[in-house]
Structure 1
Amino acid sequence: MKPIRPGSDRLIRAVIYVRISQDRTGAHLGVDRQMEDCKALAASRGWDVVETYIDNDISAYSGKKRPDYRRMLDDLEQGTATVVIAWHTDRLHRSPTELEEYIDLSQRRGVDTHTVQAGDLDLSTSSGRMTARIHGAVARHESEHKAERVARSRLQKAQAGKWGGGIRPFGWGLPTGETRKKVDRATGEEVEVPVLDMDQLVPEEAEAVRVGIDMLLSGGTIKGWCRWLADKGLTTTRGNLVGHVEARDMLMRARNAGIAVYRGEEIGPGNWAAIVPEEKHRAVVAVLMDPNRRTTPGAQPKWLGSLLYRCGRGDCTETVYVTQSGGRRYPSYRCKTAHGGGRQAAKVDEYVQDTVIARLSREDAVDLLLPGPSDVNVAALQVESEQIRRRLTDLAALFGSGQIDMNQFTEGSDVARAQLDGVTQQMARAAVKDPLVKLVGAKNVGKAWHALPLEEKRGVLRTLVTVTLTPPRLGPMPDGGRFDYEAVKFVWLRGMEARS
């Protein structure tokens, strides 16, 4: 028969609470060790453990919600148990607010607290409550002191241009040939893993970032780059498919340009190899931060002219899209207003592509290119950018030492940031590519065209030509076919045709 509380005719019901702040391996080894010790304490006292609560990889200090801790409080409120067992008081609380809530509940419901390492807490007495609060204050101090040390260490690493730790960033981490021991997430056993040099580029991943940035600067989309990565079999450094959020973060990292960042602020050059020059980084950030850029465009077009070709029936100026109204074998372009007949999408796209390829294969195709940024001295802009950033840092130091007041600091910072925005925009304009660059001058324009992703082909059409689908003539065409090529009208937006 199980022991009972002295002076009572019922069993002593206990619950166990275990928590570990950081479980990098996912093996739950920390909470398992706590569990064993807590069960041993319950067995030695003869208590009946009726429930166990586990919060793994959740810090009490961080303020994040602890699901099982809240469930325990609810159960205690309902009288599930009269004893709480924990490995140490700091496993229960590192927040004074949480501790006061726990003390209030313990007093109301007659709950005793026992720990493996810190002994028993009698929260029904003033001295017991004082002891609990002292433990809580010490635990809070330890957490805050640890956070300060970690933050200082990370700042020092960032200022020295070193990697601050964490998940391996996509693009860096070349094996050094050395190994280190690590606990396997699945088995909990120690295994040998390669040591990585976080200053050296992983060639295939670095090239993928360059491709993504070039795609964005040439009018492509993040979704298009995600598809490109999937086709190449490239994943995140955790082995997952690269989604829109991850892709955007990868392309916007200052690390790509060899710039060190601490708490979201650029603090100087890093010691690692850069993937792209700074002007390209600034350019892609400007593109992705453009408030006019559509970030939720919905379903992406699967046809070259969807929502690009115009309807030329009467005075209609709407664009067309592809439907299956002509049968699944013959998808057709139809006006958004749904009036009139459709045109076979495959035939129209083939003719438009042949026409564009022919135009870009001519000797005078070079005249179609937009003027390059020959008047922009990128190196000088980079120097000016660095000088402005240093001025901002100096202003902060002067304000911190009391040599200037808040108004002077604010006014100086506003002027410097405005100047920095102007320089950044100039560097961005210098790096943005003309969508025609990959085609004009290519040895085989047709091959270069067909190698482009659909988004880039559509970007070429937007900048080069307007295509209008007018009503086709009836009956057989002069060439004996059924497709009226003359009903597809081209208005060139660049070159002599556009000026004539």
Structure 2
Amino acid sequence: MKKTQTADAQTRAVIYCRISQDRTGAGLGVDRQREDCEALAERNGWQVVETYVDNDVSAFSGKLRKDYRRMLADLDEGRATVVIVWHTDRLTRSIVELEEYIELSDRRGIATHTVQAGTIDLATPSGRMTARILGAVARQESEHKGHRVARARQQKAMAGEWSGGIRPFGWGVPTGELRKKVDRKTGDEVEVPELDMSRAVPEEAEALRYWTDEILRGGSIRSLVQWSADKGLTTARGNAITHTDLRDMLMRPRNAGIAVYRGEEVGTGQWEQIVDETRFRAVCAVLKDPSRTTTPGAAPKWLGSLLYRCGRGDCPEFVYVTQSGGRRYPSYRCQTGHGGGRRAETTDQHVEDTIVERLERPDAHDLLEHAPEGIDVSALQIEGEQIRQRMRDLGGLFGAGQLELVPFTEGMDTARAQLAGVTQQLARAAKVDPLVSLVGAADVRAAWKALSLDRKRAVLRSLVDVTLKTPRPGRMPDGGYFDYDAIVFGWKRGNS
């Protein structure tokens, strides 16, 4: 049997500190552990050769603890013969990790001393039993704490309360009161405004409503990201709003006053509703639609890029703009690369003039899409909530072992399909015709010019197919060389 390491002036020791949740980021809990461990080493006359720290890392979560792994490697190389920790649960709460530590301690003759629980002699059967019992108790405490925290969050979500975390974009109005907080960078205690998470921030709420309406009118996430940058809007953390950020913000149920727990809608939240549920559901349907038209690569700079068709012979491909005619003369050319090109600027101007002229006619109102008939939004919302409740009930029965996997899966698949149909109907009811802001405008041309390129492209997609046929050679009847008659318009609505 190996002897337990005894106190000696030459004894080399290492300190291990860990805190599983550092809410302030200041590392104060780790500092207190280190001070107590250093005091224990000084009382015993040990030389501390290294201190290992894992801050804000749980031993129960399974996440990699880099300094813990580094300490084990150093101990295996004979760096020290004593390990000092504040308590055994700081060392590990995993049975697998504990057995690894016991094996290493036995193999290298390492003694473990704690500030709170005394000496753990892992060289003896009774010491190993004590360590295993303490490890089992620590794991039970972690599991119990996790269950308690999860239950508290579930109760808050079910009651529609804010459960904490990063301030969601759109909410958090200062109450006029201050609260103390430790600055993560400096470690200093500072006072910050207390926020009322039930009240909407006017500027951010207006942005959410604008984004929602633009998507329903045919706008793109990319154009809204640029709009946000131009307005100086940032995320709740103060970072620039990215494509992913904006899409996530638009699809957040909180916008419509819907409370969520673990990704499932659980009721109505106790906060201001920024977007009505119909428009929220419609935006989600639009953004999730696999057939949604998106432009890969860089943002389009021309009206007809990948929207105009080639039309040379029987070619069905779309055209895009190249600089093959020199930077002064960007041209539309077919994706297949066969010959010929049409001046992009002249082509777009002719298409825009033709669209504006069509929208200026007295019968332009005939071009507007009629509101979907027979769609009862209120009934659809009720039906959707009933389906979601059925899905929650199925999940509860399956989790309690009262429902087998096959009927659970079949029931969930049916419910999802039904919910998708309801969402599509709500999207139809909430979508805005891209032509609405143009038809009936006092000055159609001015209204057209005021649209962003994305909105113009949405009008083009909705109203007309443009095909670039092979132009006639030579001078045209108007004296120029551009063959306007080779640009063919196939109107999708009304009469030409």
TM norm structure 2: 0.90
Amino acid in the other structure paired with 2:214: M
Tell me, in whole angstroms, the C-alpha distance in 1 between the residues paired with 2:6 and 2:15: 24
**Corresponding residue for residue 376 of structure 2:** 377
Q: Percent identity?
A: 68
Give deviations 1:67-112, integer Å, cap 9, x for gaps: 2222222222222222222222222111222111111111112222
Tell me, in whole angstroms, the C-alpha distance in 2 between the residues paired with 1:77 and 1:223: 54
Gaps of 5+ in 2: none
**Corresponding residue for residue 132 of structure 1:** 131
Give deviations 1:310-343, integer Å, cap 9, x for gaps: 2233332222111112222222212222222322
Note closer, same or farther for the CA distance 1:205–1:443 as it changes in structure 2 (3 Å cut): farther
Tell me, in whole angstroms, the C-alpha distance in 1 between the residues paired with 2:436 and 2:260: 33
Report if aligned partners of 2:5, 2:110 keep a CA contact under 8 Å in 1.
no
Amino acid in the other structure paired with 2:314: D
The aligned runs of 1:452-471 (5 Å cut-off) are 452-471=451-470
SS of the residue corresponding to residue 49 of structure 1 reads: strand
**Corresponding residue for residue 222 of structure 1:** 221
Give deviations 1:224-264, integer Å, cap 9, x for gaps: 32222222211110111222332222111111111111111
Report if aligned partners of 2:20, 2:55 keep a CA contact under 8 Å in 1.
yes
The aligned runs of 1:253-268 (5 Å cut-off) are 253-268=252-267
1:413 to partner: Cα distance = 5.9
Amino acid in the other structure paired with 1:65: L
TM norm structure 1: 0.89
**Corresponding residue for residue 200 of structure 1:** 199
Report if aligned partners of 2:397, 2:403 keep a CA contact under 8 Å in 1.
yes
**Corresponding residue for residue 289 of structure 1:** 288
**Corresponding residue for residue 270 of structure 1:** 269
Note closer, same or farther for the CA distance 1:117–1:6 as it changes in structure 2 (3 Å cut): closer
1:270 to partner: Cα distance = 1.1
Tell me, in whole angstroms, the C-alpha distance in 1 between the residues paired with 2:241 and 2:430: 25
In terms of mean alpha carbon deviation, does 487-496 or 25-34 score higher? 25-34
**Corresponding residue for residue 344 of structure 2:** 345
Note closer, same or farther for the CA distance 1:416–1:348 as it changes in structure 2 (3 Å cut): closer
In terms of mean alpha carbon deviation, does 355-364 or 100-109 score higher? 355-364
1:439 to partner: Cα distance = 2.5
Note closer, same or farther for the CA distance 1:98–1:397 as it changes in structure 2 (3 Å cut): closer
The aligned runs of 1:223-242 (5 Å cut-off) are 223-242=222-241
SS of the residue corresponding to residue 310 of structure 1 reads: coil
1:406 to partner: Cα distance = 7.9
In terms of mean alpha carbon deviation, does 229-238 or 352-361 score higher? 352-361
**Corresponding residue for residue 330 of structure 2:** 331
**Corresponding residue for residue 164 of structure 1:** 163
**Corresponding residue for residue 367 of structure 2:** 368
Tell me, in whole angstroms, the C-alpha distance in 1 between the residues paired with 2:400 and 2:105: 49
Tell me, in whole angstroms, the C-alpha distance in 1 between the residues paired with 2:137 and 2:5: 34
Amino acid in the other structure paired with 2:310: C
Tell me, in whole angstroms, the C-alpha distance in 2 between the residues paired with 1:385 and 1:196: 33
Gaps of 5+ in 1: none
Tell me, in whole angstroms, the C-alpha distance in 1 between the residues paired with 2:478 and 2:41: 94
SS of the residue corresponding to residue 79 of structure 1 reads: coil
Report if aligned partners of 2:5, 2:111 keep a CA contact under 8 Å in 1.
no
**Corresponding residue for residue 82 of structure 2:** 83
Note closer, same or farther for the CA distance 1:418–1:321 as it changes in structure 2 (3 Å cut): closer
The aligned runs of 1:52-67 (5 Å cut-off) are 52-67=51-66
The aligned runs of 1:414-429 (5 Å cut-off) are 417-429=416-428
Amino acid in the other structure paired with 1:55: D
In terms of mean alpha carbon deviation, does 412-421 or 171-180 score higher? 412-421
Amino acid in the other structure paired with 1:17: Y
Report if aligned partners of 2:8, 2:44 keep a CA contact under 8 Å in 1.
no
In terms of mean alpha carbon deviation, does 290-299 or 54-63 score higher? 290-299
In terms of mean alpha carbon deviation, does 246-255 or 437-446 score higher? 437-446
Report if aligned partners of 2:30, 2:55 keep a CA contact under 8 Å in 1.
yes
Note closer, same or farther for the CA distance 1:405–1:113 as it changes in structure 2 (3 Å cut): closer
**Corresponding residue for residue 148 of structure 1:** 147
In terms of mean alpha carbon deviation, does 273-282 or 433-442 score higher? 433-442
**Corresponding residue for residue 40 of structure 1:** 39
Give deviations 1:146-181, integer Å, cap 9, x for gaps: 212211211111111111111111111111222211
**Corresponding residue for residue 96 of structure 1:** 95
1:309 to partner: Cα distance = 1.3
Amino acid in the other structure paired with 1:243: T
Report if aligned partners of 2:5, 2:82 keep a CA contact under 8 Å in 1.
no
